[in-house]
């Protein structure tokens, strides 16, 4: 698993906090990467663990989270 992760390009996770209503769906789906902050908004806590699966993006009811490959 670690070997598979290391071969993936880094993922950029963007959370539009102004659109996030704090439902917690994304954080519940991905406890290793996402959590809720003190204001009740989704936040990224461990970006290195993101596989780029985009489940968070597909399930966000407010289109508030986007995942894509980091462009350097």
Binding site for ligand SF4 (CB under 6 A): 11, 13, 15, 20-26, 29-30, 33-34, 42, 50-56, 60, 62, 64-65, 67
* Residue placing its CB nearer to ligand SF4 in the complex, 7 or 52: 52
Phi-psi region of 22 (alpha: psi -120 to 50; beta: other; left: phi over 0): left
**Residue 8 and residue 37: Cα distance in Å, rounded?**
27
Closest distance of CB 31 from ligand SF4, Å:
9
Say if residues 32 and 49 touch (Cβ distance below 8 Å): yes
Closest distance of CB 6 from ligand SF4, Å:
15
* Residue placing its CB nearer to ligand SF4 in the complex, 59 or 72: 59
φ, ψ at 6 (rounded to 5°): -70, -20
């Amino acid at each position: 698993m670690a070997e598979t992760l290391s071969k993936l390009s880094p993922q950029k996770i963007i959370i539009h906090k102004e659109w996030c209503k704090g439902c917690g769906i994304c954080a519940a789906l991905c406890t290793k990467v996402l959590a809720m902050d003190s204001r009740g908004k989704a936040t990224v806590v461990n970006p290195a663990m993101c596989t780029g699966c985009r489940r968070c993006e597909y399930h966000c009811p407010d289109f508030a989270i986007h995942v894509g490959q980091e462009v350097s």
